[in-house]
Amino acid sequence: NGSNIRTVQELLGHTCVETTMIYLHVMEDEKDQTLSPLDAL
């Protein structure tokens, strides 16, 4: 959504930016299948 990758890396506690990039790539692939608990309200 335009967030700085280094900011996301710090928030997730990753020491390596490559780990953050992999994590975000996996989440992008699965975002349509994941429902937020708030969606049930």
40 within some domain: no
- Select from 35, 34, 37, 38 the least CA-distant residue to 26: 34
39 within some domain: no
37 within some domain: no
Cβ–Cβ < 8 Å for 19, 5? no
Q: Compare 35 and 32 and report the one with higher pLDDT.
A: 35
Tell me: the pLDDT tens digits for 2-22? 778 888 888 889 899 988 888
36 within some domain: no
Identify the pLDDT of residue 13: 92
41 within some domain: no
Identify the pLDDT of residue 28: 64
Identify the pLDDT of residue 26: 72
2 within some domain: yes
What is the pTM assigned to this prediction?
Answer: 0.50
Domain encompassing residue 10: 1-30
18 within some domain: yes
As for how many domains the chain has, the answer is 1
Tell me: the pLDDT tens digits for 23-33? 887 766 555 66
What is the spatial distance between Cα 16 and Cα 21, in angstroms, rounded to a whole number? Answer: 9
